[in-house]
């Protein structure tokens, strides 16, 4: 049967004082009963926890390292580490800890300078007796959002001389979560300017961060579906190609342009170099009525290792039996054989025109005349 005893002393201050080092115990039974305090509980000494199953805190903040008077978190272990935080016991596994470590510094992304007054949060497992921020192994953080205030940069791996990298290792086909794939290639989209990027697709996020695999696939497939017809310098030098498989009136070619001047054009059966045109086994001047000059360097001569052939002039130039008078020198040409017996004619700068005579005709004429 439960009993109740209430003692009302009607005083403003009630104090129980024991000898120094004494113990005051309230026994409600072995693991049963409870102690209720209707007012505030103020403890000026240390609190030793024996067992607490659940703590419910109504306050919006919890302060650790209260009463700090140093610059940042003081080095309580005397080993140079300055940290404070929460340690979670994990039974047979190493304890987990969430610490704020004053020893960790980062570099301002705008100035590139170290900020010595700002530490960083660390998530690690506890290692050994020392629970400092430099002990233990780093642990992961699972979340779906990391943001910054006031449009400041989000810096990853911001420590000076850091050699790590940002990676999506262990994800499954990460690149296929950014671009749609067909087999091992990015899906073709003929309505997009690059023939690849999805348009009006709610599942496509053009702000997604790619990985190296996606970059390699995109560059490969971009050149597969986007014919590049020109290599252009920063100024006016370029190499361009034109392909007209479906247009019989146009001729496919490749062109080299230097300082805005077309210096070479390559076709299926001919090549143009500045003022010359090479077509099959023919070399001609591109400019009408301009001479084609073969010239040896300095004392060098133009050498013919094979016999020279002169087709009849009027066969090459129908309706015209003789070339024009040269401005200087002499022009050799061929036409129907006349009294000279060779068919090889000349016309010089003075307008003198005649047939070069053969040896037999020369002997005959010498006898007659």
Spatial distance between the Cα atoms of 158 and 105, rounded to a whole number of angstroms: 9
- Tokens representing residue 101 in the block: 């470590």
Spatial distance between the Cα atoms of 188 and 160, rounded to a whole number of angstroms: 42
CA 14 to chain CA centroid, nearest Å: 76
CA 37 to chain CA centroid, nearest Å: 66
- For residue 237, the model assigns a pLDDT of 93
Distance between first and last Cα of the chain: 172
Question: Has this prediction a pTM greater than 0.85?
Answer: no
Residue with tokens 């940002």: 166
Spatial distance between the Cα atoms of 274 and 152, rounded to a whole number of angstroms: 57
User: Which residue, among 329, 322, 312, has the nearest Cα to 353 in the 3D structure?
Assistant: 322
- The answer for residues whose C-beta is within 8 angstroms of residue 361's C-beta and 6 or more apart is 339, 340, 341
- For residue 265, the model assigns a pLDDT of 93
3-state secondary structure of 258: strand
168 φ/ψ sector (left φ>0, alpha ψ -120 to 50, else beta): alpha
| Residues of the chain below pLDDT 50 | 128-133
Spatial distance between the Cα atoms of 238 and 233, rounded to a whole number of angstroms: 6
Positive or negative: CA dihedral 331, 340, 313, 303 = negative
- For residue 129, the model assigns a pLDDT of 41
Please say whether the beta carbons of 255 and 272 come within 8 A: no
Give the pairing of strands 270-273 and 261-266.
antiparallel
Spatial distance between the Cα atoms of 175 and 194, rounded to a whole number of angstroms: 18
- For residue 221, the model assigns a pLDDT of 94
- For residue 128, the model assigns a pLDDT of 43
């Amino acid at each position: 049967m439960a009993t109740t005893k209430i003692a009302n002393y009607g005083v403003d201050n009630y104090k129980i004082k024991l000898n120094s080092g004494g113990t005051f115990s309230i026994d409600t039974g072995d693991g049963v009963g409870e102690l209720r305090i209707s007012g505030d509980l103020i403890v000026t000494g240390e609190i030793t926890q024996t067992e607490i199953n659940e703590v419910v805190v109504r306050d919006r903040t919890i302060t650790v390292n209260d009463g700090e008077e140093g610059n940042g978190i003081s080095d309580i272990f005397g080993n140079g580490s300055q940290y404070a935080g929460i340690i979670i016991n994990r039974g047979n596994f190493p304890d987990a800890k969430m610490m704020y470590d004053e020893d960790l510094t980062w570099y301002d992304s705008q100035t590139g300078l170290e900020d010595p007054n700002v530490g960083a949060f660390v998530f690690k497992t506890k290692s050994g007796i020392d629970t400092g921020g430099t002990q233990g192994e780093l642990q992961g953080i699972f979340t779906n959002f990391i943001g910054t205030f006031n449009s400041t940069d989000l810096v990853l791996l911001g420590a000076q001389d850091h050699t790590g990298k940002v990676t999506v290792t262990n994800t499954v086909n990460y690149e296929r979560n950014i671009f749609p794939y067909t087999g091992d290639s990015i899906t073709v989209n003929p309505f997009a300017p690059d023939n690849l990027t999805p348009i009006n697709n709610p599942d496509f996020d053009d702000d997604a961060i790619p990985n190296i695999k996606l970059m390699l696939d995109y560059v490969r497939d971009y050149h597969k579906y986007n014919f590049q017809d020109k290599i252009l310098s920063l100024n006016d030098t370029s190499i361009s190609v034109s392909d007209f498989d479906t247009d019989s009136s146009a001729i496919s070619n490749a062109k080299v342009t230097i300082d805005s001047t077309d210096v070479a054009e390559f076709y299926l059966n001919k090549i143009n170099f500045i003022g010359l045109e090479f077509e099959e086994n023919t070399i001609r001047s591109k400019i009408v009525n301009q001479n084609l000059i073969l010239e040896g360097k300095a004392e060098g001569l133009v050498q013919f290792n094979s016999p020279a052939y002169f087709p009849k002039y009027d066969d090459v130039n129908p309706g015209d039996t003789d070339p024009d008078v040269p401005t200087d020198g002499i022009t050799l040409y061929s036409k129907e054989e006349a009294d000279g017996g060779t068919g090889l004619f000349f016309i010089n700068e003075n307008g003198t025109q005649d047939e070069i005579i053969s040896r037999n005709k020369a002997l005959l004429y010498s006898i007659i005349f």
